[in-house]
Homo-oligomer: A and B are copies of this chain.
Amino acid sequence: MSWNIESSKLNKSDLLTNESLFFLGNGYLGVRGNFEEGYPEDYKSIRGTYINAFHDKVDIEYGEKLHGFPDTQEKLLNIMDAQSVQIWVDDERFSLFEGELLDYQRNLWMNQGYSERTVHWRSPQGKEVNISFKRLVSFVKREVFVQEITIEPIKDVSRISIYSELESDVSNFVDPDDPRVASGHAKRLSAEDIYEKNGCHVTGAETLETRMSVCCVSKTFSDKENHTYESNIEGTTAQETYIFDGEEKVTFTKRNVYMDSLRYGKNLEEKAIQLQEEVKSYTFNDFLKEQIQYLEDFWATSDILIEGDDDLQQGIRFNMYHLLQSVGKDPKSNIAAKGLSGEGYEGHYFWDTEIYMFPFFLMTNPEIAKNLLLHRYSLLDSARQRAKEIGHTRGALFPWRTITGGESSAFFPAGTAQYHINGDIAYSYIQYYMVSGDEDFFKKEMAEVLFETSRLWLEVGHFHEGQFRIDSVTGPDEYTCIVNNNYYTNVMAKNNLLWAGKVYDHLKSEDPQRLSELMSDLDADEEEIGKWQEAAEKMFLPYNEALKINEQDDTFLQKGKWDLDATPKDKYPLLLNYHPLLLYRYQVCKQADTVLAHFLLEDFSDQETIENSYNYYEAVTTHDSSLSFCVFSIMASKLDQKEKAYDYFSKTSRLDLDNLHGNTKDGLHMANMGGTWMGIVYGFAGLRVKESNVHFSPYLPEQWGSLEFNIRYRGRLINLKLTKGKVVYTLVEGKPVDIFHHGAEVTLESGIPVEKDTKV
């Protein structure tokens, strides 16, 4: 079972959640797991098809708008719907919610990249059919979403009809009561007429404000000839009708091609019709074959094997699979907080990418990781512009949430105020360089991004009594906003500034021409670079002598403690039940903040401080954010709190599968999915990438029989297999390499396994 996700009960309350869990995508296109045949009228469904980064701009309303608040927000759009296929058995319309379900099974196959529903249905009048619905969004031909429906008459059936639809009248989902979901601006796509061409149905649409266009070209065909066929277009709906008389099994294939102007420019419809033409001989299985090949390659490197816990094995694969389905693979896109699985957070890219999802790609699929960095790099000009809007005189301030670079956060205390996004992006660039050794990238994009973010830290912070201090920012913990000297922010800034200095020194000795070009482009001088180094050295990192912990910010420890035990369960998440001011007033954290900093930059604290901090903050953290469990799991591993590590890990690995946050319907928690992978690789296996090398401090959770996975590092592929008390490192690809095992250097040579003892 660990290669598939299965649902064998039809439960009304799970329908919405399953739409997210069974979504299919390829990083470009995403289709929610809605039912082809539709739902009864009173059932809620979020029917959605999305193209990564395909968005409109909508106005942000403010009761009171201050300077620098963004006027508009980018918003991922739901596009034309090609999922629908009505099925009629004689004169009864097939519905899972009428008649009788004699058998029902739904599967998502993560090694083959398709989903399937099989149904044995008895109609209200007692007729019986078996129906199978397969669907696939191709990793190889990213524009293609293909469906296959097989209908097998079982009892008393004399006619099978299908109505395969293309619907251009679509809207986004709205929920005015949940701040995590959009509350308006549902209708932002202006649909053009549907028409028929080359035997396909074609429809285009344009966004109201950004004037981006999208088209879909759909064609349904069957494997049998003895049918009547009709093509109808009425209003916003095109229908292909097939009617079969007889008792034979019949299979329909519906091929839908989606293209958008962001990648395909003009004449989209022609191009999409052309692609339909190119794949006109492709059956579902032809697409499937390509898909399986693609996924074999993916899993060969990326899979994590766990012996001893099928549920977790399934959860982990599920999470990695959805990361793959959601990550943008072209320079126009990134990974949205909900991937391509739903509309939560409006399809925006957050720091989630750099801190929670990037590591998985970095260590398994570095070319995807690099693309994520290049996408951020493409936003650099917007970030410079944003810094100016705020009132800064130089540097770049990356938007807290965005698609193409415009700040889309409408609530600055937990949005724009999170300046740490700059440090997070710098961190991901540095990590990439340490893992890849990519000198060209280092000199070009990385140098520029590190310089521009460094200058911004000098704009934000200031020297005071021998320290460099950063005031009025918000750290990762959104229950404590607008504070001074947030430890996380300051230490990330320090790292950012230190590395800008390293880049400077390196360029000065290795490529002075590039350096002088860069300095001149940015109008920077040596004095400024000197200030960065001074700021890095003097960066104030709050520390409490009595508790021997890093303080979350200047005043966190002076606040009262929230009584978590006395808070009724239904008052969580707290942000939905208390005014933010009330939350700000307490030592209560939505998520890991200082603890996260200790994970990312452990060398700026000592082990005692890290341990004390972990224990302190754990007691005041609600984990109301899905970005929290994984960090606590990783750090529990580091601190040998193995039971806790395992417990937190379990919660990350099945957070969506078990709908632990109650809002999986709005989309999957992608950052947490990345966090699961990190819980294993950074947590149990203790991976840390340092400037000179890669380090492991592995142990096997006692609940498991073994654990095996690969990482890529500087052109090598390294396999780790953990068993009780042992780890075997094997260099699968590449030249010999030194790694560190529990602090001791180990040389790996190709194909020669090296066995080491682990902590138990």
Return the contact of A579 from the options B183, B390, B559 (Cβ within 8 A).
Answer: B390
Question: Is residue A235 contacting chain B, with contact meaning CB distance below 8 A?
Answer: no
Interface string of A559-601 (1 = CB under 8 A from B): 1100000000000000111111110110000000000000000
| A63–B73 CB distance below 8 A | yes
A558 to B463, CA, bound (A): 9
The main secondary structure of chain A at its interface with chain B is loop
Tell me how many residues of A have a C-beta within 8 Å of chain B.
51
**Identity of the chain B residue whose Cβ is nearest the Cβ of A415 in the assembled complex:** B64
Number of copies: 2
Return the contact of A412 from the options B417, B558, B581 (Cβ within 8 A).
Answer: B581
| B411–A64 CB distance below 8 A | yes
A714 to B9, CA, bound (A): 80
Interface string of A399-417 (1 = CB under 8 A from B): 0000000000111110111
**Identity of the chain B residue whose Cβ is nearest the Cβ of A484 in the assembled complex:** B555
Residue of A413, A465, A472, A578 contacting most chain B CB atoms (<10 Å): A472
Question: Is residue A249 contacting chain B, with contact meaning CB distance below 8 A?
Answer: no
Known: A60-B63, A411-B64, A559-B462. A578 touches B472 (CB 8 A): no
A61 to B410, CA, bound (A): 11
A130 vs chain B, min Cβ distance (A): 48
Question: Is residue A15 contacting chain B, with contact meaning CB distance below 8 A?
Answer: no
A607 vs chain B, min Cβ distance (A): 28
| B179–A581 CB distance below 8 A | no
Question: Is residue A62 contacting chain B, with contact meaning CB distance below 8 A?
Answer: yes
Residues of B within 8 A of A579 (CB): 66-69, 389-391, 412, 416
Residue of A60, A63, A410 contacting most chain B CB atoms (<10 Å): A63
| A578–B391 CB distance below 8 A | yes
A39 vs chain B, min Cβ distance (A): 29
A63 to B410, CA, bound (A): 5
Residues of B within 8 A of A37 (CB): none
Interface string of A370-391 (1 = CB under 8 A from B): 0000000000000000000111
A410 to B411, CA, bound (A): 12
Known: A412-B580, A577-B391. A585 touches B471 (CB 8 A): yes
A352 vs chain B, min Cβ distance (A): 17
A132 to B201, CA, bound (A): 76
Known: A462-B559, A471-B559, A560-B462. A575 touches B67 (CB 8 A): yes
| B411–A63 CB distance below 8 A | yes
A253 vs chain B, min Cβ distance (A): 43
Residues of B within 8 A of A66 (CB): 179, 411, 575, 579-580
Question: Is residue A65 contacting chain B, with contact meaning CB distance below 8 A?
Answer: yes
| A464–B558 CB distance below 8 A | yes
Residues of B within 8 A of A69 (CB): 579
Interface string of A470-484 (1 = CB under 8 A from B): 011100000001101
Residues of B within 8 A of A67 (CB): 575-580
A510 to B460, CA, bound (A): 58
Known: A416-B579, A462-B560, A579-B391. A65 touches B183 (CB 8 A): yes
Question: Is residue A57 contacting chain B, with contact meaning CB distance below 8 A?
Answer: no
Residues of B within 8 A of A62 (CB): 61-63, 410-411
A464 to B473, CA, bound (A): 24
Question: Is residue A724 contacting chain B, with contact meaning CB distance below 8 A?
Answer: no
Residues of B within 8 A of A482 (CB): 413, 481-482, 581, 584
Question: Is residue A721 contacting chain B, with contact meaning CB distance below 8 A?
Answer: no
Residue of A413, A576, A585 contacting most chain B CB atoms (<10 Å): A585
Question: Is residue A469 contacting chain B, with contact meaning CB distance below 8 A?
Answer: yes
| A581–B64 CB distance below 8 A | no
Question: Is residue A90 contacting chain B, with contact meaning CB distance below 8 A?
Answer: no
A472 to B61, CA, bound (A): 26
Residues of B within 8 A of A624 (CB): none
Residues of B within 8 A of A558 (CB): 464-465, 469, 471, 484, 554
A554 to B556, CA, bound (A): 12
Chain A contacts with B in 52-102, Cβ cutoff 8 A: 60-69, 73
A415 to B578, CA, bound (A): 17
> Which residues of A line the B interface, CB within 8 A?
60-69, 73, 179, 183, 389-392, 409-413, 415-417, 460, 462, 464-465, 469, 471-473, 481-482, 484, 554-555, 558-560, 575-582, 584-585
Show 8 A/B contacts (Cβ-Cβ < 8 Å), sorted by A.
A66-B580, A390-B578, A390-B582, A391-B578, A413-B413, A464-B560, A471-B584, A482-B581
Lowest 9 CB-CB distances: which A-B pairs, in order? A63-B410, A61-B61, A68-B579, A462-B560, A60-B63, A391-B578, A64-B411, A472-B584, A390-B579
- 4 more contacts with CB within 8 A, not counting A67-B579, A390-B578, are A62-B410, A64-B179, A67-B580, A482-B584
